[in-house]
Amino acid sequence: MPRPRNFVPSQVDGATAGADNAEAEQELSSLAKRPQPLGACRKRPAFGDMTNAHKSLKKQGKKEVAKKASEITTLPQVTESDGHVVKKSLSKAASEEAPPNSDQFAKKGPIQNKEEEMDHSLTSVDQVASALNPTCSETMEVMPVDNNGQPGEPYTNCEYALDIFMYMREREERYLLPDYMKDQPDITTDMRAILVDWMVEVQENFELNHETLYLAVKLLDHFLAKETTMRDRLQLIGSTAILVAAKFEERCKPCVDDFLYICDDAYDRKALLCTEKSILIALKYDINIPIAYRFLRQYAKCAQVNMETLTLARFICELTLQDYDFVQESASQLASACLFLALRMKELGGWGPTLERYSGYKDKELYPLVKKLNFMLTYKHDERLNTVHSKYSHRVFFEVAKIPPIDMRKLEEALQS
């Protein structure tokens, strides 16, 4: 049996790693419990027990595990004494690409040939905007997408971002989802919402990128659109979707044992690897699916919104992952509507000509989706699925979940004016 992770031979009482003690080490390894993954992610057994995990654990006599699971249902509240935790969380939030007018760019040194880079970016953006919306004026000023790309991240590099943006706009037409739930005899939209809520918790506790979460949900939906699934395999599919997305997006992904652990060993390694193969075959190994998160980030850079407004738009966009009513929306239009609503909630105006030209969507095209998003914020908050609200209620995310939604009548009047 392979040694568990973080196993150190010196931990054996008086034993070494020599061949004479091989039997003792093997016996110790068989008794050792698999270490809990980073972030102490809550273990949940079979999908049918996901909402009453504590009761099922108590029935099995695992009182200590149930107590631990109840303590990490939501994100931990960080105190001032946990200075290292606050510093880590803030540094992670600051690593997100802030808009061009952020104060952090003022501290950077001069960029060589800055004027040449700016002119090149403007020309490229003009071409993109003209292709998306050729009816707009060619003399309209458009801001560059990104002149401060992060090293090693081509999505934010000014030399590649625009080409990738155009490529994703073309690809998203191939990945529009149908209403697949009517063809699933054993699962419902509520089961999907519970699963996505759990996937958000896994992403947060494993400290995965937000792109990994969005891609994992897309992989889940596209697989369910092609394959009929029973409810007892739904959590297995969700876990495997995160694993596949992590391999695509992360530099350091969790291992297979971590995913088996968070499922409370309800599935074995062979089942997870077979499910991974099934997902890849069903999607024909083409998993570079356009996600709303990347479109939203580019639109925010174009509009020069601050980080708090962008985080509010991300909160709205992440809530749509749980709501099946938004599955059929295109990624770029959903990102546009989320940013539009965030601008209205922060009283920063509407969908300006720059955003209209860059995104290719006019404000009137977004009105139905904006009202649908505001209805979700106002009336569709389920206390059982509180992971996203708890996540964005933290001060690292500017507590944007506490911002009240716009009154539906006022929003209707504002859109009509």
- CATH code of 292-416, in short, is 1.10.472.10
Q: Are 39 and 202 in contact (CB under 8 A)?
A: no
Q: What is the DSSP letter of 19?
A: G
DSSP H/E element including 311? helix 307-319
Is residue 228's pLDDT more than 70? yes
178-282 homologous superfamily: Cyclin-like (1.10.472.10)
Q: Are 393 and 360 in contact (CB under 8 A)?
A: no
Q: Do domains 178-282 and 292-416 have the same CATH topology?
A: yes
pLDDT digits (tens, 9 = 90+) for 242-280: 999 999 999 999 999 999 999 998 999 999 999 999 999
Where do the structural domains in the chain lie, given as residue ranges?
178-282, 292-416
- Which of helix, strand or coil describes residue 124? helix
How distant is the alpha carbon of residue 141 from its chain centre? 32
Buried b (16+ CB within 10 A) or exposed e, 133-147: eeebeeeeebbbbbb
Q: What is the DSSP letter of 172?
A: G
* Residue ranges in 158-268 assigned as alpha helix (H): 161-171, 189-205, 210-226, 234-249, 256-262
Q: Are 46 and 232 in contact (CB under 8 A)?
A: yes
Angle between helices 234-249 and 189-205 (to 10 degrees): 40
Count of CB atoms situated within 10 Å of the CB of 9: 13
Buried b (16+ CB within 10 A) or exposed e, 46-64: bbebbbebbebbeeeebee
pLDDT digits (tens, 9 = 90+) for 127-178: 555 555 544 433 334 334 444 445 555 555 667 778 888 899 999 999 999 9
pLDDT digits (tens, 9 = 90+) for 26-69: 543 443 334 444 444 555 544 444 434 444 444 444 444 344 44
Is residue 123's pLDDT more than 80? no
